[in-house]
Structure formats: structure tokens, C-alpha cells
């Protein structure tokens, strides 16, 4: 399927039209939990790692809900741009979940290199803060800059430790190539082309986007 004339940009219009194109092509587009509970023959897992701005996340979340999609939003405990326990953040979390999205933990590594302890201790502390903020148990997580936290091997061991209440982490082999196609806009760059270029090319995909890169009119809106 060929998209209109803006397949390579980071406009929210491009994002919305791309989701519509996938839906028209017969794809279900959901969060991780939706995929695990009811996988379809053609399925997108929509994932967002929220590094520094919850307001931008909410903007994307409303757009997705408008076109019949849900996504997994992974939130940090140590972000400088938002406080997970602040009233604005709690309201945004409530809105995301009311729209049908999944809110989970974006897990931080490397803190022990500066303030002591180890990655396991800090993972447990982050989980506790996250659960206090959302008022429920954690059920999934993604690693922020995975190499700082022992890579996929550490995430796998943490998942084994936290099971059965935690169902998945985003870098598990079952969510990555070659099991399914993985595309990411990390650092504001698609390494294999805008995800709109992939409509109809792979049946099962994980799409990671960061709302910070996506804008209404110009990138300067976001920073």
C-alpha cells in the first residue's frame, strides 16, 4: 500500500494517516497486553517510551484512540521532565488508561554507578515507586538505554524474578526479529524507513515511537 506524499516525516498527520493505512490493510493495532491476550494474523504492537514529556505522550494517545488503536506507554521514575507522583502526571496516567492504553514502567539503569547499590536494587525501587503512582501491580516493562542495565540478559532475569505478575518486557525475543519485525524512531531516525513504508510487508510488528519527535507543524513545538 502506498501512503500519500509525506511518508518520511514526523508530523502527527503522517502518524495518524499511517495508522489508518495499517487499519485499512487489515491490521489490529494494540498494546502488548492486547497482543498477548488476542493475537491477530496481522498485528501491530504500538509502543512508546516516554523519556521526558508526558504532555506530548497524551497528545499521541488521543490521536491513537481516535483511529481505534491502543498502545503501551512506558513511563520513567527518574525523568527530569515529569514527576510520576505529581498531580498533572497522575491525571495524565488516568487519561491514558481511560483511552484504553496500557501504562507500564520504563526501567532505568546505570544509577548505581553514581549513587551506589546495584541494578537489581534500583529496579526493585523503581517498580515500587511506579506501583505507588498507578495504584496497581506492574505487568510489563521496557528498558531505557538497555546497555546501561545489563542488556537483554538482565531484563530476561528480571522478568523471571518478577513473574508471574509481570507478563513481559519489551525486548524479549518473542517481540523482536526474527520472530516479528521491529522498527524504531530512536534518536529521531528510522533506520529502515518510516513505518508507513512497511504497510503490508510484514504481518506481525513491534513499532517503537517516541512522542517527543512527533509534531503538529514544526519540531520546535516540542523543545
The confidence score (pLDDT) of residue 8 equals 56
pTM recorded for the entire structure = 0.94
pLDDT tens sequence across 171-206: 999 999 999 999 999 989 999 999 999 999 999 999
User: Under 8 Å CB-to-CB from 163, ≥6 apart: which residues?
Assistant: none
The confidence score (pLDDT) of residue 29 equals 98
Q: Which H/E stretch holds residue 130? A: helix 119-134
Q: Is 83 a residue whose pLDDT tops 70?
A: yes
How buried is residue 188: exposed, middle or buried, by Cβ count under 10 Å (0-12/13-18/19+)? exposed
> pLDDT-based confidence at 109, cuts 50/70/90?
confident
How buried is residue 136: exposed, middle or buried, by Cβ count under 10 Å (0-12/13-18/19+)? exposed
- Distance between CA 137 and CA 20 in Å, rounded? 33
Single out the residue of 126, 133, 23, 138 nearest to residue 78, CA to CA: 126
β 43-50/140-144 pair status: unpaired
Q: DSSP secondary-structure letter at 215?
A: B
The confidence score (pLDDT) of residue 194 equals 93
pLDDT tens sequence across 10-23: 999 999 999 999 99
Amino acid at each position: 500500500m502506498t501512503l500519500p506524499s509525506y511518508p518520511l516525516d514526523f508530523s502527527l498527520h503522517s502518524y495518524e494517516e499511517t495508522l489508518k493505512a495499517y487499519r485499512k490493510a487489515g491490521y489490529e493495532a494494540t498494546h502488548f497486553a492486547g497482543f498477548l491476550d488476542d493475537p491477530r494474523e496481522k498485528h501491530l504492537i504500538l509502543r512508546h517510551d516516554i523519556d521526558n514529556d508526558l504532555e506530548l505522550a497524551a497528545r499521541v494517545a488521543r490521536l491513537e484512540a481516535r483511529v481505534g488503536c491502543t498502545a503501551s506507554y512506558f513511563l520513567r521514575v527518574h525523568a527530569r521532565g515529569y514527576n510520576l507522583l505529581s498531580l498533572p502526571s497522575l491525571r495524565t496516567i488516568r487519561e491514558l488508561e481511560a483511552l484504553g492504553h496500557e501504562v507500564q514502567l520504563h526501567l532505568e539503569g546505570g544509577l548505581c554507578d553514581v549513587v551506589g547499590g546495584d541494578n537489581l536494587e534500583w529496579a526493585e525501587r523503581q517498580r515500587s515507586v511506579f506501583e505507588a503512582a498507578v495504584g496497581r501491580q506492574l505487568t510489563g516493562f521496557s528498558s531505557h538505554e538497555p546497555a546501561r542495565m545489563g542488556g537483554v540478559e538482565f531484563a530476561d532475569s528480571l522478568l523471571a524474578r518478577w513473574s508471574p505478575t509481570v507478563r513481559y518486557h519489551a525486548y524479549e525475543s518473542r517481540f523482536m526479529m526474527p520472530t516479528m519485525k521491529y522498527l524504531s524512531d530512536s534518536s529521531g531516525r528510522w533506520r529502515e524507513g518510516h513505518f508507513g513504508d512497511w504497510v503490508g510487508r510484514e504481518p506481525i510488528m513491534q513499532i517503537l515511537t517516541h512522542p517527543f519527535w512527533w509534531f503538529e507543524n514544526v519540531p520546535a513545538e516540542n523543545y
